Amino acid sequence: MPDLSAYDGIIFDMDGTLVDSMGVHIDAWEIVCQEFNYPFDRQYMHGLGGVPTKRTVEMLNELHGNTHQPELVAERKRQIFVAMNHIPELIAETMAVFNRYRPIMPIGIGTGAERPNAEHLLTHHGLLERLDALVTASDVTHGKPHPETFLMVAQKMGVEPSKCIVFEDTTIGAQAAQSAGMDCILVNDGKIQI
């Protein structure tokens, strides 16, 4: 377990970092890509983890020369994900960090998920009431890799950005943390990379 005593606050990404949900999101995206005639690339879609859904659609449109309405495609992705009715498990290594440091420093989550989805999942696992801050795609103008999500979490926790450590599972999320002036620890397939 990493020693985080040099920091005053911890920020976790949610999907793929604290909750093992990336696989289900990618499966939902595969169906969406088939329905809207986007070529599907599992590795590329995983790399977009943390990017708000509408922005992901905009990126797919740009990449493949499509003009699908981002709101329409995002809503369809949400419907497919909800219909899967999958409650993912917590990731043991990052939850060990959460539980170790929760009594002694503030903890927040900065996620690219929409607020209703994040609150449902975090409530199911008994985490929502244990957070000092939750910032979702519903709360920001600019999603990751823009730093707004993490800066807003730090502000809500009352911690200077430079005194926060972020746990993230994607390069885009790590870029957002770096742009926010925060150190970042990567989580790869549920394992903390130190």
Could you give the residue numbers annotated as active site? 13
Task: Give dist(CA 128, CA 108) in Å, integer.
Answer: 10
Q: How far is CA 52 from CA 84, 99, 146, 173, in A?
A: 19, 27, 11, 11
Helix boundaries (H) for 36-132 = 42-47, 53-64, 70-84, 92-101, 115-124
3-state secondary structure of 52: coil
Task: Give dist(CA 51, CA 22) in Å, integer.
Answer: 12
Q: Please state, as a whole number, how many other Cβ atoms lie within 10 Å of the Cβ of residue 168.
A: 27
Task: Give dist(CA 140, CA 156) in Å, integer.
Answer: 13
| CB-CB contact of 136 with 115 (8 Å) | yes
DSSP 8-state secondary structure symbol assigned to residue 7: -
